[in-house]
Amino acid sequence: MLARRLSPIVALALAAAPAALTAQAKEYLYVGNTLGGDLSIIAIPEHKVVGTIPATIVGNSPDDVISSRNGDVLYISRLDTKDVIAVSTGTEKALWHVDVGGTPNHLALSRDERWLYVPLYDKGELVVVDTKTHAIVKRIGVGTSAHGTILGPTGKFVYVGLMEGNRLAQIDVATNTVKRVIHTPEGVRPFQLSPDERLIYAQLSKLHGFVVIDIARDSIIKTVQLPTIGGAAPKPSLALSHWVVNHGLGLTSDGKYLVANASLSGFTAIYSVPDLKLVGTVPVGKEPNWVAFSHDGKYAYVSNRRDNTLSVISMADRKEVARLKVGEFPQRMAVAMAYRPQ
């Protein structure tokens, strides 16, 4: 009887609710186009460009884009204005921004999403931003050219790779202090952490491949050379993407496969983990830059920044199943379950 009495009230509430609240969330890939200043929106699994968050909202050379865990907010670092903005996926409008006082690169969120970690490339700092008050609560010295930033699987540590400082810094989230310095022979580009947080897989500036680092031992335990696909190994140079050979490294959520971009060679390589056996190579667009995955792990996405395309790779088939035209100079990407405006 109680359920019968309440049902008209529930029906009235649902009828009055905004469409965005009653609609079902859908999976989208948000691609940051650095030179275009906008974000391309790709529907998953249809793999069609379905919208754009324009430069009038984003602009100012977006460098990184990450998503809140429920997909309602995108956080975007902007090179030209040296700030970070938060954008609602529901309205595709800016919510707030914070000036960080330096050139921000890759972003990370704490497990409870209260803290946003912003590395400042030109200041050698990791800035901690309160996502509720939008205030900077701490500046942590990590070393020159702070670049890649990842929250570890345990949520206890944030890791910052130094692009020219030849090391990574492990930051204790509880105290916002440097817990450990992990040394490398060259500058650190994209990197990933093993699910048990014992190993780091890292691309280095001039290496056509990647290294495996034992965190506790502060030691490289394996170096993996990417194939050359019948040609010579690419030569790094300042003219070709600031000494970088390969950029873009992704580990599937189950920790079973590592996807590594060969940026100067135009392909991506897929390795099984933990044995790091090469199980496939996939030709993609020109100068692949970043790797992201669909939530179910069926697809890998590779941004090709020199021909303004996105490669969609079937992980099961280990081949490119679509190549989409996106904005100008696509780089970092985020996958989110979002309610887009109708």
- Residues contacting residue 98 through CB under 8 Å, at least 6 positions apart: 83, 84, 129, 134, 135, 136
Instruction: Give the pLDDT of residue 7.
Output: 41
Residue type, 164: E
Token pair recorded at residue 132: 């509720």
**24 pLDDT band (50/70/90 cuts)?**
confident
Quick check: is 41 in a domain? yes
Give the three-class secondary structure for 22: helix
- Residue from 328, 329, 326 nearest 28 by CA: 326
Residue position matching structure tokens 């491949």? 209
The pLDDT, as a whole number, for residue 236 is 66
Q: Which domain holds residue 198?
A: 26-338
Q: Sheet harboring 38-43: ordered strands across?
A: 48-53, 38-43, 26-33, 330-338
> Does residue 3 lie in a domain region?
no
Classify residue 17: in a domain, yes or no: no
Residue 13 located in a structural domain:
no
CA distances from 12 to 4, 7, 21, 23, 132 (A): 14, 9, 14, 16, 33
Q: Is residue 2 part of a domain?
A: no
The structural domain count of the chain equals 1
> Does 1 map to a domain?
no
Please tell me the predicted confidence (pLDDT) of residue 294. Answer: 98
The pLDDT value given to residue 14? 40
pLDDT at 243: 63
- pLDDT score, position 277: 98
pLDDT in tens, 137-196: 999 999 999 999 999 999 999 999 999 889 999 999 999 999 999 999 999 999 999 999
List 74's β-bridge partners, or say none: 67, 87
Looking at residue 113, the DSSP 8-state letter turns out to be: S
pLDDT of residue 22: 47
CA diameter of the chain: 77
Flag whether 224 is in a domain: yes
Give the C-alpha separation, 245 to 263, whole Å: 6
DSSP state of 68: -
CA separation for the pair 98, 28 (Å, rounded): 26
Are the C-beta atoms of residues 245 and 207 closer than 8 Å to each other?
A: yes
Question: Across residues 245-270, what is the average pLDDT?
Answer: 96
Torsion of the alpha carbons at 333, 335, 339 and 341, rounded to the nearest 10 = 20
Dihedral of the alpha carbons of 324, 329, 333, 335, in degrees to the nearest 10:
-30
- What are 218-232's pLDDT values in tens digits? 999 999 999 998 777
Does the pTM surpass 0.85? The reply is yes
Q: Is the peptide bond prior to 153 cis by the omega test (within 30 degrees of 0)?
A: no
Q: What CATH number should be reported for the domain holding residue 82?
A: 2.130.10.10
Do residues 121 and 139 lie in contact, with contact meaning Cβ atoms separated by under 8 Å? no
Average pLDDT, the chain: 92
Strand, helix or coil at 19? helix
Question: Is 5 part of any domain?
Answer: no
Q: Give the mean pLDDT of 260-267.
A: 95
In the prediction, which pLDDT does 139 show?
A: 98
